[in-house]
Amino acid sequence: MSGPVATADAPPAEPRASAVAPACVEITASRVADVGRMPVKRALPRRERRTVGPWCFADHMGPAPVTETSGLDIGPHPHTGLQTVTWLLDGEVLHRDSLGSEQVIRAGQLNLMTAGHGVAHSEEATGHYRGQVHGAQLWVAQPERTRHGPAAFEHHPELPRAELDNAVGTVLVGSFAGAASPARRDSELVGVDMALRPGRSVWPLDPTFEYALVVLDGQALVQGRPVRPGQLAYLGRGRDQLGLEAADPARILLLGGEPFDEPILMWWNFVARTPEEIAAAARQWRSADPRFGRVDSPLPRLRVPPLPRLRPPSG
């Protein structure tokens, strides 16, 4: 549940296709990819939509079966300039990183890893869980102010909830409907797991944020348009509320934030600003440079693919 971002997701020479739009419902299809042994639906980045606020990556993982010894099985790999936000609806995953963290994450819990200048981690089977794994891994682009800073890791076993008519929101990061997550955030953003009951719900939004929905289970109608798993529904900016209808229970991720005004360059597991930064990070991972530390994992390190021709992002 951790990338990599390929040229199929974000062609390096393509103009940045993330202009902030006014209130709209713009539905794009996710790309099916394999991460480790797990099928994922990649909602961000896509050619049509690279970012939503500072959210620059969204994989909907599973539901897929795992055993005691076979799970995600993503060996040690590096990150720069981003935070990984891991959220499970079902199952367990073991996180290990170069800071020495070793943390099992379960359904309803949040792992938040800040890469800053550099970190490495693995995501593994826990050794005792058998069943389904279902969840999301999201990346938040770090602003210039913190992206060169130290790495960090947080685990939040409990998160605040906001009760609305026909919906309960679990606030992963940021604030929503009066509930504030304790998770670190480096810019103005929000991420909420909404559990919908049948009926209509109205969600309070911040008109200065742009928003998008990723449906994890079930479906909902947004301005009369059905939104399902395997899609990103971009909602634009300027809304102070959003009405949805669900005929059956549904789970939906609400992602939003102030439009991210720093043009970013993403490749593999790196978020940077220039091709030179990406090339340096790739070279340093390949040579086991201390920048990324060492992960105490039984899995083999992931290898950097050949670097494509990258061009600086256009603003």
Smallest separation, CB 15 to Mn ion (Å): 27
Candidates 2, 98, 181, 201: give the one binding Mn ion (CB under 5 A): 2
Pattern of binders to Mn ion over 123-162, x per CB under 5 A? ----------------------------------------
Q: Which is nearer to Mn ion, 139 or 234 (CB)?
A: 139
Structure token pair of residue 122: 């693995």
First-to-last C-alpha distance (Å) of the chain: 28
Q: Which is nearer to Mn ion, 109 or 166 (CB)?
A: 109
Q: Which is nearer to Mn ion, 56 or 250 (CB)?
A: 56
Nearest-angstrom CA–CA distance, 79 and 115: 6
Task: Tally the C-alpha atoms within 13 A of residue 189's C-alpha that lie toward its C-beta.
Answer: 27
Q: Which is nearer to Mn ion, 2 or 18 (CB)?
A: 2
Smallest separation, CB 2 to Mn ion (Å): 2
Q: Strand runs (DSSP E) across 142-188, as ranges?
A: 152-156, 161-164, 167-173, 175-176, 179-180
Helix (H, G, I), strand (E, B) or coil at 157: coil
Token pair 């896509």 in the structure block, residue = 46
- If one asks whether residue 122 binds Mn ion (CB under 5 A), the answer comes out as no
Q: Counting every residue, how long is the chain?
A: 315
Number of residues that bind Mn ion (CB under 5 A): 1
Range in contact with Mn ion (rule: CB under 5 A) among 1-9, 19-27, 101-109, 172-180 = 1-9
Strands 131-141 and 82-90: antiparallel
Smallest separation, CB 84 to Mn ion (Å): 5
Smallest separation, CB 117 to Mn ion (Å): 16
Range in contact with Mn ion (rule: CB under 5 A) among 2-10, 168-176, 189-197, 228-236 = 2-10
Nearest residue (beta carbon) to Mn ion: 2
Q: Which is nearer to Mn ion, 2 or 111 (CB)?
A: 2
Q: Which is nearer to Mn ion, 124 or 210 (CB)?
A: 124
Smallest separation, CB 80 to Mn ion (Å): 11
- CA pseudo-torsion sign 89, 91, 96, 100: positive
Nearest-angstrom CA–CA distance, 221 and 225: 5
Helix (H, G, I), strand (E, B) or coil at 154: strand
- State which amino acid sits at residue 139: W
Residues engaged in binding Mn ion (CB under 5 A): 2
